[in-house]
DNA sequence: GGTAGACCTGGACGC
DNA sequence: GCGTCCAGGTCTACC
């Protein structure tokens, strides 16, 4: 019989809303089960692989999280697993109230928290696999990294000793092969220190500048990793942002001026601008595909391609002029 | 500082 | 079923 962890949540926390808030919940080794509103997720603990089923049995805001494990955990492993799950679910997000004060559009729904990975390293690699590629390919890369290297997601030490050609051939990561290995080596050598990035005392600008020095990390990827660190003052602008500007905000013009306009547009949300931007996109996705907690990772969760999204544009009304994008 | 082209994969589309 | 086109962000070379 396995161990069961019970994790207290903040009074506003709602698993089906707050876990299904960012596309990474659809990426391996996460497996969202829309039927019973639970997440199956293997974790790489000190004592070995452990598979968890994470749910919120009360299905109400503020209800405790239950994490059923497929094996008995030592006390140290329980502590370790708890910390990883808290990070994934963003349970320690201290900015929710401030965000709702700044952007009251999301106060009623309670949207504020963004799902992320149990480790900073996984967030970085997932971001690299999402660059210059369509969403289904990102999904495939993550599935294969887990199949080939580690079912609970590759550790930095594992990727650092892989040959780039192996990752390319077996994980379909393409030209990202060398970059992924190089990033992993930076983590292993200590040149990249996750604790430094996670430390709130580290200035945003320092964190951003250091991210931009990583191979394969440009302006979009760096801004995205920043939000995964809980630093929401930068908007990760990409082609989805342009589509959002044109189809939802109703703007016109060439790419470059639209990008500048977007950047300026979200300045009003100050330290929470990514959240405001993202929930506009996410609301649009849900208008197209239904609530995110109903998405199946094998069917509807794979359909976030530009071609698909351009097919069925939601009506732009004066009242509700928000959103579009890929499921990142 | 700005721009063009290469880098890969897989979905969409035309035949 | 096959071939071709295209989307996607980063990096490098060049002006």
Mean pLDDT of A258-265: 92
Segment (H or E) for A127:
helix A120-129
**Cβ contact A170 with chain B strand, < 7 A:** no
Joined tokens for residue A210: 């250091």
Cα dihedral A213, A214, A215, A216 in deg (nearest 10): -100
Rounded Cα distance between A45 and A156, Å, is 14
**pLDDT score at A314:** 47
Q: Comparing A59-63, A78-82, A210-214, A248-252, which segment has the lowest mean pLDDT?
A: A248-252
- The residue with greater pLDDT, A302 or A257, is A257
The domain A120-228 belongs to what CATH superfamily? Hypothetical protein; domain 2 (1.10.340.30)
* pLDDT at A299 > cutoff 90: no
Q: Which residue is nearest to nucleotide B7 (CA to C1')?
A: A175
**pLDDT score at A308:** 61
**pLDDT score at A255:** 87
- The residue with greater pLDDT, A307 or A133, is A133
Protein residue ranges contacting nucleic strand C, Cβ under 7 Å = A 131-134, 137, 174-175, 179, 214-222, 238-240, 243, 306-307, 326
pTM of the model: 0.94
**Cβ contact A58 with chain B strand, < 7 A:** no
Mean pLDDT of A289-304: 85
Mean pLDDT of A241-264: 90
User: How far does the CA of A216 sit from the C1' of B6, in Å?
Assistant: 15
By the 8 A CB rule, do A61 and A113 touch? Answer: no
User: How far does the CA of A179 sit from the C1' of B14, in Å?
Assistant: 36
Q: Comparing A94-103, A244-253, A261-270, which segment has the lowest mean pLDDT?
A: A244-253
* pLDDT at A316 > cutoff 50: no
**Cβ contact A134 with chain B strand, < 7 A:** yes
Q: Comparing A173-177, A267-271, A294-298, which segment has the lowest mean pLDDT?
A: A294-298
Report the share of chain A in percent with pLDDT over 90. 86
Q: Which residue is nearest to nucleotide C9 (CA to C1')?
A: A132
SS3 of residue A4 by DSSP: strand
Q: Comparing A67-76, A153-162, A293-302, which segment has the lowest mean pLDDT?
A: A293-302
User: How far does the CA of A307 sit from the C1' of C3, in Å?
Assistant: 20
**pLDDT score at A254:** 85
What are A104-119's pLDDT values in tens digits? Answer: 999 999 999 999 999 9
**Nucleotides on chain B within 7 angstroms of protein Cβ:** 3, 7-13
Residue A189 pLDDT class (50, 70, 90 cuts)? very high
CATH 2.60.40.10 given to domain A4-95: no
Rounded Cα distance between A213 and A211, Å, is 5
What are A122-145's pLDDT values in tens digits? Answer: 999 999 999 999 999 999 999 999
Q: Measuring from the CA of residue A240 to each C1' atom, give the nucleotide at the shortest distance.
A: C8
**Cβ contact A136 with chain B strand, < 7 A:** yes
Q: CB burial class (10 A; 0-12, 13-18, 19+) of residue A139?
A: buried
Q: Which residue is nearest to nucleotide B6 (CA to C1')?
A: A175
Average pLDDT over chain A, rounded to an integer: 92
Residue A326 pLDDT class (50, 70, 90 cuts)? low
Cα dihedral A134, A135, A136, A141 in deg (nearest 10): 90
User: How far does the CA of A320 sit from the C1' of B7, in Å?
Assistant: 39
Joined tokens for residue A35: 């039927």
**Nucleotides on chain C within 7 angstroms of protein Cβ:** 7-11
**Cβ contact A137 with chain B strand, < 7 A:** yes
Q: Measuring from the CA of residue A212 to each C1' atom, give the nucleotide at the shortest distance.
A: C10
**pLDDT score at A304:** 66
* pLDDT at A52 > cutoff 70: yes
Rounded Cα distance between A240 and A298, Å, is 22
Domain residue ranges in chain A: 4-95, 120-228, 239-320
Q: Kindly give, in sequence order, each residue whose CB lies less than 8 Å from that of residue A186, ignoring residues fewer than 6 positions away.
A: A192, A214
Mean pLDDT of A135-163: 96
Among the listed residues A29, A30, A39, the one whose alpha carbon sits nearest the alpha carbon of residue A7: A39
């Amino acid at each position: 019989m396995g161990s069961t962890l019970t994790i207290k949540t903040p009074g506003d926390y709602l698993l089906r809303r707050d876990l299904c808030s960012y596309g990474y919940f659809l990426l391996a080794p996460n497996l969202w089960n829309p039927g019973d509103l639970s997440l199956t997720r293997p974790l790489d603990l000190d004592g070995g692989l452990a598979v968890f089923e994470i749910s919120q049995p009360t299905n109400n805001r503020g209800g405790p999280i239950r994490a059923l494990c497929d094996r008995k955990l030592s006390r140290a492993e329980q502590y370790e697993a708890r910390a990883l799950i808290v990070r994934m679910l963003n349970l320690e997000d201290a900015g929710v109230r401030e965000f709702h004060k700044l952007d009251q559009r999301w106060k009623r729904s309670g949207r504020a928290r963004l799902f992320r990975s149990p480790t900073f390293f996984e967030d970085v690699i997932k971001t690299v696999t999402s660059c210059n590629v369509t969403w289904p390919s990102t999904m495939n890369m993550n599935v294969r990294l887990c199949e080939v290297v580690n079912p609970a997601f590759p550790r930095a030490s594992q990727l650092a000793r892989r040959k780039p050609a192996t990752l390319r051939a077996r994980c379909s990561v393409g030209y990202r092969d060398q970059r992924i290995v190089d990033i992993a080596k930076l983590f292993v050598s200590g040149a990249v220190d996750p604790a430094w990035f996670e430390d709130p005392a580290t200035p945003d600008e320092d964190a951003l500048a250091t991210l931009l020095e990583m191979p394969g990390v440009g302006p979009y990827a760096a801004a995205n990793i920043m939000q995964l660190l809980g630093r929401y003052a930068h908007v990760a602008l990409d082609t989805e942002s342009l589509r959002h500007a044109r189809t939802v905000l109703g703007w016109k013009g060439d790419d470059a001026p639209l990008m500048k306009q977007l950047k300026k547009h979200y300045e009003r949300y100050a330290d929470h601008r990514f959240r405001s931007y993202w929930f506009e996109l996410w609301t649009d996705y849900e208008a197209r595909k239904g609530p995110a907690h109903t998405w199946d990772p094998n069917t509807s969760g794979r359909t976030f391609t530009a071609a698909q999204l351009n097919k069925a544009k939601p009506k732009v009304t004066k009242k509700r002029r928000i959103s579009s994008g890929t499921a990142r």
